[in-house]
Amino acid sequence: MRRICTHRGGWSARTRGEARCRDCGTVRFTEYAALRPPGLPHAQTPPRRTALAADRAAARRVPLVARRRTWWGL
């Protein structure tokens, strides 16, 4: 049977960044930080001209795809 705890007994700090409920023992992580390991490549974006051309090509394709009855199951 599952016991519902509202954690009213408070939290006791066990280690840095981790706390445990005094009533049920649930562990809560209190410190989160986004880590980026060294050596990963940085994100690159295409030149604005190339991105705009891709957007226009996609916009021209949408009406053609929407007309295909086989895609809509008709």
pLDDT at 32: 73
The answer for residues whose C-beta is within 8 angstroms of residue 9's C-beta and 6 or more apart is 21, 22, 23
pTM over 0.75: no
Note the pLDDT tens digit of each residue in 43-62. Answer: 778 899 999 999 999 999 88
| 36, 25 Cβ separation under 8 angstroms | no
Tokens found for residue 58? 């996609």
Q: Which residues of the chain have pLDDT under 70?
A: 1-3, 33-38, 40, 66-74
Residues 6+ apart with CB under 8 A from 54: 46
